[in-house]
C-alpha cells in the first residue's frame, strides 16, 4: 500500500499538506494523518480525494507511535512522503514560561519528530520524500522565543544531516523554514512582543505549495517569500552575537511599549 504520512494534519500547515499531497501524488492508496483533535481530522477526511486513515492521539505520549508502527507493519506500507508538521511554540522570557510547556515544545518539536522518523524510515524507499517543518526561528538564537527557536534549530540541523545520510538510498529530505504563517499557531504561542505583533503572515496554502515544489526538486531547504530569504541570508553573514543582541533590544522596546 502506497501512502503519505502527515503529522499535525488537524490544522494550519499540516492540514494544507494533507489537502495538497493527494493532488501531487496521484498514485497514493491512502493518506495517514496524525493529531489530537479527532473531529478536525474527520472533517479533513471529507475534503481529501483518497482514503484517509486517522491516528488521533497525543504525540507527547508513546501509545500513538506504537499504533503507527503496528499499522505500518500490518499494511506492508510503502511511504512515498512523510511530513512532520506537528509542533508548537510559546513566546516569552524563559523564566516566565511554564516549565511543562518548555519541555513540551522539546518533546513535540524534537523528540516526536525524531521518533516518527525512526519508525517510518524502514518503510521509505528510492524516490520517497521527507518534509520536516522547522521555522525561520531556526536561523539564529532568539531571546523571547529561546526554547522554540532552539527546538527548530534541532529540526534544521537534523534534517540536513539526515538528508546527506539518505541520499545514497534515493530518499530526499527537505527542511521547510517558514516565517509567520496565518494558522492557529498564534492562538497557542501567547502574546507577541510589540514590534512583532502585526507582522505580515503568509497563507499556509502558498507556503505548502512552495514546500512541495521544493521537495519535488529535491531541495535541501525551502524558504517562502523574499522577507524570509533575506532573513536567512542575513543570519548567514551576521554573527549570532549581533542578531541575538538586536532581537533582545527589540524585545525590550516591545515590553516598554506594552507597559505604556
Ligand atoms: N504558523 C507559523 O507562523 C509557523 C512558522 C514557522 C513554523 N511553524 C511550524 O509549523 C508547524 C505547524 O504549525 P501551524 O502553524 O500549522 O500551527 P497549528 O495550526 O497550531 O498546527 C499545529 C498542529 O500540530 C498538532 N499538534 C500540536 N500538539 C500536538 C500533540 N501534542 N500531539 C499531536 N499533534 C499535536 C496540532 O493538532 P492538535 O491540536 O489537533 O493535536 C496541529 O495539527 C509547527 O511545527 C510550527 O512550529 C509555524
Predicted pLDDT of residue 191: 81
Let me know: does 15 contact 41? Beta carbons within 8 Å: no
Let me know: does 138 contact 155? Beta carbons within 8 Å: yes
Predicted pLDDT of residue 245: 96
Predicted pLDDT of residue 143: 95
Handedness of CA 89, 95, 101, 103 (dihedral sign): positive
Ligand 1 center–CA 171 separation, angstroms: 25
**Pocket residue to mutate for ligand 1, from 19, 110, 183, most atoms within 8 A of Cβ:** 183
All structural domains of the chain with their residue ranges: 2-259
Cell of 104: 513540551
Predicted pLDDT of residue 205: 98
Instruction: Confirm or reject: Cβ of 10 under 6 Å from ligand 1.
Output: yes
Predicted pLDDT of residue 37: 98
Cell of 114: 525524531
This prediction has a pTM of: 0.97
How far apart, in whole angstroms, are the C-alpha atoms of residue 247 and residue 244?
5
Task: Give the chain's residues under pLDDT 70.
Answer: 193-198
Predicted pLDDT of residue 197: 60
Number of residues assigned to the chain: 260
Ordered strands of the 30-35 beta sheet: 52-56, 30-35, 2-7, 78-84, 124-133, 172-176, 221-222
Domain 2-259 is found in CATH 3.40.30.10:
no
Tell me the per-residue pLDDT of 141-154, one tens digit each, with 9 for 90 and over: 999 999 999 999 99
How far apart, in whole angstroms, are the C-alpha atoms of residue 4 and residue 190?
32
Predicted pLDDT of residue 63: 95
Cell of 202: 503568509
List the one residue out of 218, 214, 213, 224 whose CA is nearest residue 135.
224
Residue 41 Cα: closest atom of ligand 1: 40
Amino acid at each position: 500500500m502506497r501512502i503519505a504520512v502527515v503529522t499535525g494534519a488537524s490544522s494550519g500547515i499540516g492540514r494544507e499538506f494533507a489537502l495538497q499531497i493527494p493532488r501531487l501524488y496521484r498514485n497514493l492508496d491512502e493518506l495517514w494523518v496524525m493529531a489530537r483533535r479527532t473531529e478536525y481530522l474527520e472533517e479533513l477526511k471529507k475534503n481529501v480525494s483518497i482514503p484517509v486513515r486517522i491516528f488521533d492521539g497525543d504525540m507527547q505520549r508513546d501509545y500513538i507511535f506504537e499504533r503507527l508502527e503496528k499499522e505500518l507493519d500490518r499494511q506492508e506500507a510503502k511511504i512515498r512522503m512523510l511530513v512532520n508538521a506537528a509542533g508548537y511554540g510559546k513566546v516569552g522570557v524563559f523564566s516566565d514560561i511554564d516549565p511543562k510547556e518548555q519541555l513540551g515544545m522539546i518533546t513535540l518539536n524534537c523528540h516526536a519528530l525524531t521518533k516518527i522518523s525512526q519508525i517510518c524510515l524502514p518503510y521509505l524507499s528510492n524516490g520517497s520524500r521527507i518534509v520536516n517543518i522547522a521555522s525561520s526561528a531556526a536561523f539564529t538564537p532568539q531571546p523571547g522565543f529561546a526554547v522554540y527557536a532552539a527546538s527548530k534549530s534541532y529540526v534544521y540541523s537534523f534534517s540536513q544531516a539526515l538528508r546527506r545520510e539518505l541520499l545514497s538510498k534515493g530518499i530526499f529530505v527537505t527542511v521547510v523554514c517558514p516565517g509567520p504563517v496565518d494558522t492557529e499557531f498564534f492562538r497557542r504561542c501567547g502574546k507577541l512582543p510589540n514590534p512583532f505583533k502585526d507582522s505580515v503572515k503568509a497563507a499556509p496554502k502558498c507556503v505548502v505549495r512552495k514546500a512541495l515544489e521544493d521537495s519535488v526538486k529535491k531541495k535541501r531547504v525551502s524558504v517562502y517569500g523574499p522577507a524570509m530569504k533575506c532573513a536567512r541570508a542575513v543570519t548567514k553573514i551576521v554573527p549570532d552575537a549581533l542578531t541575538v543582541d538586536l532581537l533582545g533590544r527589540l524585545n525590550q522596546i516591545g515590553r516598554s511599549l506594552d507597559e505604556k
